[in-house]
């Protein structure tokens, strides 16, 4: 499996990205899963880069989801744990500082404002994150009503050693797994969260925000 970072019609916006605002091309026959990206790029929460094209410059020290040309993906603080020396980077999505580092939750998980503006100022909006285990397995976590601490605890229970929070609030948190109906015909998306409002088109139609797909090699 490998991770593809998609640009949305607004974030990152524009034409000509390697992976655009909807699943298409060879991905349609290999698509396994898809899930939301990070905060709006206008919030200053981090950079976005794909195949040498930069929408927002990367910032040292921020939580970074990094995919390499060999198809592997890692998560870490930019210019600290990532990128791996000697490996060619193909995409980077940054969002805030690491939620989990070294198998330990960030010391400021109790600071609600540190982890994004929530609708109505609630402590437990919909939240999501992507983590990685010591053996390199990626773990997406999301829920309808989660504090930052609860999100970190869920990831730690899955043996995650580093993690980045992704988008928050109900409209923006969504994950799907895709059935292929015997390998032919239309994809059948299944919501990862039964209560999620969902993304119109389930990433199979153009979407405004960036997102990730998991694709079989």
Give dist(CA 127, CA 108) in Å, integer: 16
| pLDDT at residue 215 in the model | 98
Identify the pLDDT of residue 86: 97
Delimit the domains of the chain by residue range.
2-215
- List, for the chain, all residue ranges whose pLDDT scores fall below the cut of 70: 182-185
pLDDT at position 185 is 59
pLDDT of amino acid 201: 94
pTM: predicted TM-score of the whole model, two decimal places: 0.96
Ramachandran bin of 183, using left for φ above 0, alpha for ψ from -120 to 50, beta for the remaining angles: left
pLDDT the model gives residue 183: 57
Strand ranges across the sheet with 104-105: 104-105, 100-101, 160-168, 127-133, 138-143
CB 189 within 8 A of CB 32: no
Task: Output the DSSP codes for 127-167.
Answer: EEEEEEETTS-EEEEEESS--HHHHHHHHHHTTEEEEEEEE
Question: What integer pLDDT is reported at residue 181 of this predicted model?
Answer: 75
What are the pLDDT digits (tens) for 48-73? 999 999 999 999 999 999 999 999 99
175-179 β-sheet, strand order:
2-6, 211-215, 31-36, 175-179, 188-191
pLDDT score, position 140: 98
- Predicted local distance difference test score (pLDDT) of residue 64: 99
The predicted structure's pLDDT at residue 53:
98
**SS3 assignment for 96-131:** CCCCEECCEECCCCCCHHHHCCCHHHCCCCCEEEEE
* Whole-number pLDDT of residue 195: 84
């Amino acid at each position: 499996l490998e991770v593809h970072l998609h640009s949305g019609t607004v974030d990152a916006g524009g034409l000509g990205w390697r992976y655009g605002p909807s699943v298409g091309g060879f991905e349609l026959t290999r698509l396994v899963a898809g899930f939301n990206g990070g905060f709006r790029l206008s919030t200053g929460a981090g950079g976005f880069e794909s195949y040498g094209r930069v929408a927002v410059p990367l910032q040292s020290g921020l939580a970074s989801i990094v995919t390499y040309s060999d198809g592997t993906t890692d998560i870490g603080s930019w210019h600290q744990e990532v990128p791996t020396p000697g490996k060619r980077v193909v995409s980077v999505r940054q969002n805030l500082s690491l939620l989990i580092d070294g198998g330990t939750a960030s010391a400021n998980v109790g600071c609600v404002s540190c982890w994004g503006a929530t609708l109505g100022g609630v402590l437990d909006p919909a939240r999501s994150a992507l983590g990685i285990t010591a053996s390199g397995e990626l773990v997406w976590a999301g829920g309808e009503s989660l504090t930052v601490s609860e999100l970190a605890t869920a990831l730690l229970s899955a043996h995650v050693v580093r993690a980045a929070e992704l988008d928050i609030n109900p409209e923006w948190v969504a994950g799907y797994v895709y059935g292929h109906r015997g390998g032919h015909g239309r994809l059948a998306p299944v919501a990862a969260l039964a209560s999620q409002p969902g993304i119109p088109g389930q990433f199979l139609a153009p979407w405004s925000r960036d997102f990730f797909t998991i694709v079989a090699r």
